C-alpha cells in the first residue's frame, strides 16, 4: 500500500492507496502530521512506501520521523515524471501542478487534456496527446478574489463564497458575489473555449476545493474529480517504484 501526503498552505491531506484504489482519505492540521501518519501505518500495516508533496511549509523533522516508518519519495523538480516536461522554468513548476498532470497522463493517455484546479489559485495545466506538458496559466481563486476586494479597498467587506442571485447585483454584497463568481465562471469557460479552438478533442478536468461549487455552472462539458491530485501523486510514486 502507498501513503500519500499532500501538504498545503493550511492543511495536510493524507491518503492510502492499494495499487490504484483509494482506500482512505483525511484532512488534518499541519502540526498533527506525524501523529496521524503513525496511526495510518498502524491501521494499514502493509504500507511500505509513501510520497510527500508540499506547497506549504514542510517540517524536516516530520520527514525524518516518517521515514522511520515508511520509505519516502519527496516530490520536487528532480523527480522522474511520467511525461515530457516542456516548461521553460521546470524548477518553478509547483509540485501540485506536476501531480495533476501525472494524473491526466494515467487516466487519459494519448489525449489533449486541460486540468483546471480551483483552489487558492485557479491553475490551468495542459498536456498534449504526445505526452508533452506545455504549461498553462495561474489566476486568483474564489477566496483570493474575495480577500483582495476586502484587503485592497477601504469599504468592501470580507464575504464568504455564495452563489449570486443574479448577474446584476442590487447591493454591494450582491455585486461582489456577482463579480467574483460570474467573473471566475466566465474566465474558466473562456479559457476552455480558447483551448478548444486549438485542440478540438480536448478533455477537461476540474478539481480542487471549489470544483463542486463551480462544476454545475460551467457551460462547457467537464469531468469533476476531487481526488485527481492524490491519484497523480500515487501514480508518480508507482512510476518511481519497482513494487
Host H or E run for residue 118: strand 113-118
Could you tell me which residues are annotated as the binding site for K(+)?
A: 117
pLDDT digits (tens, 9 = 90+) for 25-51: 999 988 888 889 999 999 998 998 999
Instruction: Kindly state the average pLDDT of the residues 146-150.
Output: 97
- Note the pLDDT of residue 28: 92
Location of C-alpha cell 524548477 = 91
Topology adopted by domain 84-232: Nucleotidyltransferase; domain 5 (3.30.420)
Is 31 known to be catalytic? Answer: no
- Note the pLDDT of residue 201: 96
Could you tell me which residues are annotated as the binding site?
A: 6-13, 87, 94-97, 117, 120, 172
Matching CATH topology for 2-74 and 84-232? yes
Mean pLDDT rounded to a whole number for the chain: 94
Asked if pLDDT for residue 243 goes beyond 60, the answer is no
Q: Give the domain ranges of the chain.
A: 2-74, 84-232
- Note the pLDDT of residue 98: 97
Instruction: Kindly state the average pLDDT of the residues 184-195.
Output: 98
Query: CA-CA distance, 43 to 130, in Å (whole number)?
Result: 41
pTM of the model: 0.93
pLDDT digits (tens, 9 = 90+) for 75-120: 999 999 999 999 999 999 999 999 999 999 999 999 999 999 999 9
Q: Out of 3.30.420.40, 3.60.21.10, 3.10.530.10, 3.30.1390.10, which CATH number does the structure's domain 2-74 have?
A: 3.30.420.40
**Active-site entry in 62, 96, 125, 210:** 96
- Note the pLDDT of residue 242: 64
Amino acid at each position: 500500500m502507498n501513503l500519500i501526503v499532500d501538504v498545503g498552505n493550511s492543511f495536510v491531506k493524507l491518503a492510502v492507496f492499494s495499487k490504484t484504489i483509494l482506500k482512505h482519505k483525511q484532512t488534518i492540521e499541519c502540526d498533527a502530521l506525524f501523529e496521524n501518519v503513525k496511526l495510518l501505518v498502524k491501521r494499514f500495516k502493509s504500507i511500505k512506501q509513501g510520497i510527500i508533496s508540499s506547497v506549504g511549509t514542510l517540517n524536516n523533522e516530520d520527514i525524518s520521523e516518517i521515514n522511520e516508518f515508511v520509505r519516502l519519495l519527496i516530490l520536487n523538480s528532480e523527480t522522474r515524471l511520467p511525461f515530457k516536461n516542456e516548461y521553460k522554468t521546470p524548477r518553478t513548476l509547483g509540485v501540485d501542478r506536476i501531480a495533476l498532470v501525472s494524473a491526466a497522463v494515467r487516466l487519459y493517455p494519448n489525449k489533449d487534456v486541460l486540468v483546471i484546479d480551483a483552489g487558492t489559485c485557479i491553475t490551468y495545466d495542459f498536456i498534449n496527446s504526445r505526452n508533452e506538458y506545455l504549461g498553462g496559466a495561474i489566476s486568483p481563486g474564489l477566496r483570493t478574489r474575495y480577500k483582495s476586494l476586502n484587503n485592497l479597498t477601504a469599504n468592501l467587506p470580507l464575504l464568504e463564497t455564495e452563489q449570486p442571485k443574479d448577474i446584476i447585483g442590487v447591493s454591494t454584497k450582491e455585486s461582489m458575489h456577482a463579480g467574483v463568481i460570474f467573473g471566475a465562471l466566465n474566465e474558466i469557460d473562456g479559457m476552455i473555449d480558447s483551448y478548444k479552438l486549438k485542440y478540438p478533442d480536448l478533455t477537461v478536468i476540474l478539481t480542487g476545493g471549489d470544483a463542486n461549487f463551480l462544476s454545475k455552472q460551467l457551460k462547457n462539458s467537464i469531468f469533476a474529480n476531487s481526488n485527481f491530485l492524490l491519484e497523480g501523486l500515487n501514480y508518480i510514486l508507482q512510476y518511481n517504484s519497482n513494487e
